[in-house]
Each structure stands twice: as structure tokens, then as C-alpha cells.
Amino acid sequence: MQSTAYFSRLTMNRQPGRTDSHGQPRLPCWVRFFLGLLLLGGLSFLLPSPVLLAQDKARIVRVGIFQNKPIIYQDKKGRVRGIYADLLHDLAKRRSWELKYVAGTWNQGLERLRKGEIDVMTSIAYSQERDRVFDFSHNNVLNMWGQAYNAKGSTVKSILELNGKKIAILKGGTNGINFKALCKKFEIDCLFEEVDSYSRVLQLTNSKKVALGIVNNFYGYENEDKYSVDRNPIIFNPFKLLYAVPEGMQQDLLSILDEHLLAMKLDRHSLYHQSLSRMLLEKTEASLPRWLVWSLLATCGLALAFFVVLLWVRRLRREIMARKQLEGYLLERTRELQESEERFHGLSESAFEGIIIHDKGHILEVNHSAAGLFGYERAELIGQQARILLTPESWEIAAQMIAAGSEDPYELDAIRKGGEVFIIELHVKQISFQGRPVWVIGMRDISEQKKAIEQLEQRTQELALTEEQYSTLFASAHVGVVLLDESGHFESANEQFQQFIGYNFDELRSMTPLDITHPDDVPKTREILSHDGLTEKRVTLLTKRYIHKDGTVRWGDVQSIQQTLSVSGRLLDFAIIVDVTEGKLAKEALQKANKKLQESERRLKESQHVAKLGRWELDLRSNNLEWSDEIFQIFEIDKNEFAATYEAFLNAIHPEDREKVEAAYTQSLYDRKPYEITHRLLMKDARVKYVQEFCHTEYADDGTALHSMGAVQDITAQMLVENQLKAANVKLKEMDRLKSMFIASMSHELRTPLNSIIGFSGLMLRRSEDLNELQTSNLNRIYRAGLHLLSLISDVIDISKIEAGRIDVFKEKFSLQELVEEAVDTVRPALDKKGLALQIEAATWPEMNTDKKRLSQCLLNFLSNAVKYSDEGQITLSLDEQGGFVEISVKDTGVGIADEDLAHLFKAFERLDTHLTIKEGGTGLGLYLTKKIAMELLQGEVSVESVLGEGSAFYLRIPMELPEKPKNHQREKQ
């Protein structure tokens, strides 16, 4: 049933651009065949058309053939046969061609045609792909379609069952290509076994190596018995069989073939139609509807019988002429007739249920079927009165009909040998010969049909009743009502259903519900349609998808009712379909939206999970507490063992924090304010976790607390980090304090022993008259080393303090003159020792308000350097006051500094590698410290100018009034 629908649906996919352009009436092939057949009997066979008589010069035409019985094939004796062969033989004869058949497989044929090794290929269908390499005839020889075969006992009934199955097809064959396309369209994934011949296809099918074998319908019908395979309900894609020639070649041949074919087709008596009918008669009844076959054969048989009778009557005439004893002669010749009868018996026996020939009620001849029909032996009837075979009433009717000369079939009540009355249908032909009527009667028992018709009528009546009953349903909007016939096809469908599905009733008539069902819903629909296990009544409800004619999906709520009517036993199979497409689509959209929502919820959950953020809700009216999974995880409580309770919550809290948490919540309810609290949880294994809780309570208008919602975040990791940070901070502060203490003790404790070293060695040197020269010299070394160590300690302490930002600036007012004099006093001994002159150039002595000690430190550094690095000459200290700044410069006439060294001058531990370096002690920190003091404490700057070998000049420029610098806190006076 289903395949019928595929057929009708897929016929729309026929080859493009292939329409009958010659204006031939578009009758289906079988109709043409049938019409031709009607005219067969007794009519002249060959009436050659003038167009076909044209002579062609001697020409060899190479024809590609393959085994495709009955269309084109080689028989066992090697003769080429089939309808193509008949046509080509005829044409060759007319054109004086010499036909050269080149036999091979289908694909070899195609290949040869492509290469031009043959001139024309037979039994070929059009395809766009082939059109690129071939030219096709305009007229078709045949229409054919794809027919599937299965091994005996196979259950495959629909294309939808083929997923993953193996299918045998002819390699490169149109049916195979079409079937592949069909499967693809239905998204069915089959494995294709491509073989070289149709016979191989059916062999594979028979041996069950494939689930289905695909051949063309003609080949299938011809060979299904031979290969013992079953015709499958799947048929598909009708197409035209044409001639093809290599592209751009043999164009004249193609037009001759076309012309010939057209002429043949137009002439109902042509060889073409003969060949076609012969071919179809041999083995095609099943390809046509049963009733048609029956009628065809009946008519055919009738016509043949008529013809035979004519011949027989001719003979009879000769006998009468000879013996002038017609009746006797007839009786005698009946036996002879039997011989000639043999020819048509084969046909008539199977075709007709009965043929009786009588003259004036005397039965002259009767066939076995007719005898059997009436329950007699053939011999019993011959010579009998025909009257005994009919009821008296029927005999009267028959007489009237004969009298009226009616040749239309009519029905009569017949009597069997046992007296049983049954109904026959008669076709009566009268042949008048020399004024004597001879009757040929074809008949069949139509009792069964009559019964069927009666049932049909009864059913129709029932239907009328039920229709009446359901007329309200039929009429009401949005409800479709369909009734199925016993074969499952639509017997009726109301307007609503037609609108719903887009097909009109004429179209629906040949369909079953499966044909308009969405492929996904076919299985459940099939289940409902099945009558298996059906008792009295079955009502099934389902929601399913239909495919509208326009291809869109329609949703229907189906109420399927299958009821066996008690009166007739007839099965009533109908359904009420409510169009719920809109609702469904809306629902689908809703589901999509829901899905999206679920997705976002899932994401939220995931992120909560990742963030270890738990959520709880407490309904204060029902006291129902709900925890999210994360809370169970944070509290390390098995969700399946413990319920979410306030007690479980309190138990998890660190005992020391319980009171605080409870108080916070109570207070929050009292204040009606959200709260936030961080507290600890004590785990079973004594681990401590930190959580942060946020809680918000909703209140009714009257102020009643409705429910609380809270979030719990596990912040253990953060707390650990925070604690570590705090510990580190404490440690750092402690270390800082220790460092300060260290620096303080450095400055005190190191000075105490230095006090003795410097003090006593200095003391002894003051009384050096008691010592010898060597003792004085050694003592001097100790004394100077002590002084060096002292300055080193002082510088290191100062630098570390400045770098730590911990040095205090002490701002005070003083006279610069005083400071300079103090500094000069300090270096005076060294100056005097070296014999260096010191010149001080100052126009005025400004009053300063800055850190005196630090300024003094800087000045002393400059001066001691000048002394240190000068062997002779003079040191000039000059002052310049300008715009609130004072610039103190110390120039010497010493060794000077190379340009490349100037850049490194103010860096820590940079000492210039000169001969003086070794001779003169120094920390290497002096200028670095000076620069730091000048810039960071006195908010000024230092610079240097120097010419190597000529001397250097160091400049210190500082504000006279040190600006307040909030950053540098000043020591409060105690």
C-alpha cells in the first residue's frame, strides 16, 4: 500500500524536459495496449506505414544489448529478442540495414556507447548525467519502473525497514540510481551491492545475501519465477526507456529511430503494439490491476473464440455445401472442431469460466470451464438444450435479450446440475449465417461478486448510517473525519481533513494514512492501523505528525476507532483528527524555551558548584528548609542520609560560632534586614571550614516573615590565604621591628667597641713622644681603620634607613656659615696634613631651615673627597643663593674623573680605580649616600663636573626652606 504512495509521490521526479511533444494523446501505456488488443482479433496484421518504407543505403548499425528479458535479450540459441529487437529488425528490413548486435553487461554497453564502439544502445533511460555523453531518442519504447524483490519469506514491506540492510542493484542502472536517491531522501542508510546484471541481482536476492534486489518491472515479472523470488510491495520511479546514441554522433540514426517509433506507436496495428502485447501477455498480468487483467483476458478470449468460431463456421459452410445436412454435419464436425479448439483451449480455459455455443437452444459446443461451472461433464452437455442451464425466468429474459439484439453483458440466474441456483454474467454474440443464428456465449459465475456487491451495498448503507451519526463531527470545524476501506485506503475523508492535509479526496482515495504520515510516526500509526488482536471495538488515541501536501508538518490528535459492526460483521475503521498543529508548534517553542531555561539553570548550578556557592530556602510558614546540592557538599552531609534541617545546619557550625550565627539570623528577622556573616564549620574529622553566608528574608505586607533565602559560600580557601597573608604580615612586621632593632643596636653596640679602638689609639697618638716610630705608625693604622669602620657603619645604617623610608628628617633653623665652619673644622686636620689650601667664596651666608645633620653629612662627603683625591693645589667651597635654593659647590684641583666614569659616580660601592683608591680609605658609599640624602631627604640634587687630570667640581643644590613632606613623618618632640 505504502509503495503505491511512493509511486504516486515520486512520479513527480521524472526526468526534466522529457515530455511528449508530438501531441500524442497521453494515454497510459496499458490503455494503449488494451485498445490495441481489442482490435486484434480477425483484423489484418500488417498495414505498413508509408514513412517506414523509405530505403536506406546499405548500412551497418551496431546495437548494444544486454540481458534484459523481455525488453532486449539473447535467447538460448543466441537469437536477439525482445521488443527492441522486434522494432530494430523491422526497421533494418525496411532500411536494408545490417544489424550487428554487441552483447555485454549493461555497463559494458554504456562504456561502448560512450566510446562510440556501438551506434545505438537499447533499453536505456534518460538521466542528466548520461545526457552529457549520449543523445537520446525523443520517443520512448516503454515506460518502466523500479520493482523490488525479496527472498521468499522475507518480511521487508517498506523502504523504512531498510536501514543498514544490503540491497542489490544493477551497477549504473537507472533503477538502482533512483532507489539510491529514494533511500537518501528518506534518510535511510543502506549498503548497496552493485552487480553487473539483473540476473545476478535476483540470484543474490534469492540466496538472501541481500534484503532486496532492485530490477525493472518487466525483467522482474519475466524472471521472478525463474529465480524464485517474491515481488516486494516497493515499486518506485517510473521512467521511459529510450534509444541512445553517442553524443553528437549518429544523429540521423536517432531521428530514423524516433520516426520509426512514432509511426509504430501511432499505428495501433503495428508491429510495436503486437510485440508489446505479446510481451505483456506472456507474463504481465500481475503488473496490472486484477479486474483489468480479467477483463483483458476475457475480452481477448472472447475475441479469439469469436474468430475461431468464424473459421469454424466457414468450414461448416463447406460441409453444408457438401452434405446439405447441417445438423448432422455439425454434430459430426464437432469432434474435428475439438482439434482446432485445442489452440484456443489454452487461452479460453484460463480466461473464460465458460464458453457455450448453441444454435436455437441446442448446445453445439461447451468448454470444460462452462461444463464445470454448471456441474456437468462436457460430453453431458453437448447436444443438450441450453434451457436446462437457466431458471425459467432467466430463460425468458435471455430470450427477450436475444430478441432485442443486445450484445451487452447481462446477468441471469443459472442452475447447476444439482439444482443450485447461481448467478452468471453472460456475453452473448450472435452470428448470423444464412439466416440461421449461431450463438456464442461467454459466461462467468458472478455469485461471489454479487455477494460482494451486496455486501458493498450493505456497507454503504451502514456507512450512510454511521455518516449520519457522525454528520455533526463531519460538519464541525477543525475536526477531520476519515473512513478507511478494508485495504486501508481512504474510503472517505471530510472537507476538514482534506483542508488539513492539503490533498483532495480524489488524491486521498489511492492513499493510506501511512502515506501522509511523518516518517517518524509511521511505526506507531502502523500499529494502530493493524487489525491484529482486534475484537469488538478498539479506540486508540494518539498525537502524530502528518505531512501536508505542501511538505510541511501538521500535528493531529487522532482518535482512531475500529469497530466490527454486529449486524454485518463489517469492520468499521475510522478516525477523528483534530488539528493541533498550532498548539504543538507553540508547545515545541515552549519546550525549546524550557530547555533553554533548564540549560541556564544547569549553568547556574554548575557555576554555583564551581564557586562552591550553596543556596537554601526556608519557608517560615511550613518550616520547610531546602538545600541545594552544594550545601550538602559544603557541610559534608550525605544528602541521602540527612534531611535539610536547621538542626543539621547548627550541628555543622563550629560550636564557638553557633551562638553568633543564631543571633545574626534572629537579629536579621528582628531588624528585617538582610545579613551577612562569616563563620566556621567544624567537620567530623575536626577540619575547620570557613563559610560566608548571605541571607535575605521576604515579608508579607503585614510584616510576617514569609521565607528566608540564603547563600552559603565556602571561603575556606580564601580564608586560608587570608590567614597566611595575615601571618606573613605579622611576620613581616616582626621582621621589620627586628630590623629596626638591629639597626639601632648596630648604631649603638658597634660604636661602643669602636669607641675604645678609636679612643685609645687616638689617645696614644696624642702622646706619641713615648713611642718609637714603628709603634706610632702601627697605632696610626689601627686608629685610621677604626675611623674607616666607623664611617662604614654610619653609611650602611643611613642607606638602609633611607631605602626603607625609615629615616627621619629633622627640620631646624641654622646658619649655613656655622655649618660650613664645622665641616671645615672636621677636615682641617686632613687639609693641613696635605698642605692643601681651602678657599671659601660666599657673598652672603643664608639662614637655612632644613635637616642640618644631613646637610652637614653631604658637605663633609664633598670636602673629604676633595681632600682625598687632591695631592696639591686648593679646594674652593663656594655658595650661590638663588630663588630659595642654595648651591654649594666644592671644587678641587685633583685627579679628576674620566667622562665614562662620571655616570657610575653616584652608584653604590662604585669606586674609581685610581692610585688613590688604595691609598685613601673609603666606603664606596659616600657619593651614593650623599645623592640619596640630597634627593630624598633634602629634596635637592647633586651634580658633578670634571676634567680628568685637572680636577672635579661637585654641586649640591637644595631648597633653603625644606618643603613639608607629609610622607616623611617628623619626629614629634618629646
Partner 1 sequence: MKRALVIEDNPDNMELMRQLLEGEGYEILQAETGWKGVELATTAQPDFILLDIQLPDIMGTKVLKKIREHNECQSIPVIAVTSFAMSGDRERLLEAGCNSYIEKPIIPELFVNQLEKVLGESR
* Binding-site ranges for partner 1 (CB under 8 A): 747-748, 751-752, 754-760, 762-763, 765-767, 786-787, 790, 794, 807-810, 812, 825-826, 829, 851, 853-854, 971, 973-974
**Chain center to CA of 704:** 54
As a whole number of angstroms, the distance between CA 194 and CA 721 comes to 72
Between 765 and 916, whose beta carbon lies closer to partner 1?
765
Q: How many residues does the chain have?
A: 974
Between 617 and 961, whose beta carbon lies closer to partner 1?
961
The cell for 967 is 610622607
- Cα distances from 439 to residues 16, 365, 565, in angstroms, run 54, 10, 46
Q: DSSP letters along 161-195, please?
A: G-TT-EEEEETT-HHHHHHHHHHHHTT---EEEEE
| Residue 958 C-beta: closest distance to partner 1, Å | 16
- Cα distances from 477 to residues 496, 575, 577, 578, in angstroms, run 7, 15, 11, 9
| Residue 811 C-beta: closest distance to partner 1, Å | 9
Between 874 and 968, whose beta carbon lies closer to partner 1?
968
Q: What are the contacts of 471-474 at 24+ separation with CB within 8 A?
A: 473/576
| Residue 828 C-beta: closest distance to partner 1, Å | 10
Between 77 and 748, whose beta carbon lies closer to partner 1?
748
- Cα distances from 507 to residues 9, 186, 460, 733, in angstroms, run 11, 22, 21, 95
As a whole number of angstroms, the distance between CA 844 and CA 494 comes to 124
Between 327 and 812, whose beta carbon lies closer to partner 1?
812
Q: Which residues of 479-515 are buried (b: 16+ CB within 10 A; e: fewer)?
A: bbbbbbeeebbbbbbbebbbebbbbeeebbeebbbbb
Quick check: 648 and 635 in contact, CB under 8 A?
A: yes
Between 714 and 851, whose beta carbon lies closer to partner 1?
851
| Residue 813 C-beta: closest distance to partner 1, Å | 11
Quick check: 714 and 691 in contact, CB under 8 A?
A: yes
Does the N-terminal peptide bond of residue 233 adopt cis geometry, omega within 30 degrees of 0? no
| Residue 825 C-beta: closest distance to partner 1, Å | 8
Between 499 and 826, whose beta carbon lies closer to partner 1?
826
| Residue 747 C-beta: closest distance to partner 1, Å | 6
| Residue 775 C-beta: closest distance to partner 1, Å | 17
As a whole number of angstroms, the distance between CA 867 and CA 920 comes to 10
| Residue 686 C-beta: closest distance to partner 1, Å | 51
| Residue 876 C-beta: closest distance to partner 1, Å | 25
| Residue 611 C-beta: closest distance to partner 1, Å | 53
The angle, 0 to 180 degrees and rounded to 10, between the axes of the packed helices 83-95 and 271-283 is 160
Query: Which residue in 415, 439, 410, 437 sits closest to 426, CA to CA?
Result: 410
Between 392 and 753, whose beta carbon lies closer to partner 1?
753
**Chain center to CA of 201:** 34
Would the CA dihedral through 246, 248, 254, 256 be positive or negative?
negative
As a whole number of angstroms, the distance between CA 799 and CA 927 comes to 11
| Residue 844 C-beta: closest distance to partner 1, Å | 25
Between 181 and 793, whose beta carbon lies closer to partner 1?
793
In the block, cell 549553568 appears at: 603
Question: What end-to-end distance do the CA atoms of the chain give, in Å?
Answer: 114
Quick check: 143 and 31 in contact, CB under 8 A?
A: no
| Residue 665 C-beta: closest distance to partner 1, Å | 56
∠ CA(394), CA(396), CA(402), 5° rounding?
A: 100
| Residue 973 C-beta: closest distance to partner 1, Å | 7
As a whole number of angstroms, the distance between CA 90 and CA 67 comes to 20
Between 540 and 747, whose beta carbon lies closer to partner 1?
747
